[in-house]
Amino acid sequence: MAKGLPRPVADDEPGQVAEAAAVLGLSYVVVTSVTRDDLADGGAFHFVRTIAALRERIPGVRIEVLVPDFGGDAEALRSVVRAAPDILNHNLETTEALYPALNRPAANYRRSLEVLRRAKEQGAVTKSGLMIGLGELEDDLLRTLRDLRASGCDLLTLGQYLQPTRAHAPVFRYVAPEEFAQWKAVALDLGFADAEAGPLVRSSFHAHKLYDTLKRIPQSPVHAISDLQ
């Protein structure tokens, strides 16, 4: 895959996103982006502007943002939370032991948990997603779900990992729908307000339906990451 420096952020993109959502007649919009580590704030201000543009163009719209970790920049995250998206989603993606399989430093696992914890402390409804089928151990997956709940994560998606290219980690196994159903039950038992789990589930799968369950969110304590070890 070719790599290079990304182009500058398009100043009119928030308005274009809002206009596209209006033309499509959307009442629930999921906004995400590529990782922009080249920007000082990781692209946080662009999320803020897009949230504002959507609200101005579509009164009453519900907005979910799927954000990167902003390089651990607490102020960048705070700016997005202050823009008051209805849901702040940040994907943990896999268990801590398998982060190297995704070419990610193991330390990023804890940083992602910290993103969710901080967002929850600041009043956001939080959501995260995992891919399974990478070779994760059952005990590790259970610990990951517990880590998410300890960080205050409200909503969860669980889907089948698929190999994007031959350069990426191979699929270790294809998980049966029945096993996904079992993990959904585990997630609900752990206190997630709701979860979507299945082979085709991705971050935005039935996103509006997960939002509709928010009245069942328990008021659970949020712990410091040092307490999660």
Kindly report, residue by residue over 127-137, the tens digit of the pLDDT: 999 999 999 99
The full DSSP string for 133-201 is -SS--HHHHHHHHHHHHHTT--EEEEEE---SSTTSPPP--PPPHHHHHHHHHHHHHHT-SEEEEETT-
Write the CB contacts of 24 (distance below 8 Å, at least 6 apart in sequence): none
pLDDT of residue 226: 37
pLDDT (0 to 100) of residue 217: 54
User: How far is Cα 115 from Cα 191, in angstroms, rounded to an integer?
Assistant: 19
SS3 213: coil
Task: Say which residue the tokens 């902003």 belong to.
Answer: 70
Closest CA to 144 of 129, 160, 163: 129
DSSP 70: G
Q: Which two tokens stand for residue 37?
A: 């580590």
The tens digit of pLDDT for each residue in 146-182 reads: 999 999 999 999 999 999 999 889 999 999 999 999 9
How confident is the prediction along the chain (229 residues), in pLDDT tens digits per residue?
566 778 888 999 999 999 999 999 999 999 999 888 888 899 999 999 999 999 999 999 999 999 999 999 999 999 999 999 999 999 999 999 999 888 888 899 999 999 999 999 999 999 999 999 999 999 999 999 999 999 999 999 999 999 999 988 999 999 999 999 999 999 999 999 999 999 999 999 999 999 888 755 554 444 443 343 3
Longest dimension (CA), the chain: 47
- For the record, the structure tokens of 178 come out as 């029945």
* Residue 121 CA from chain centroid, whole number: 16
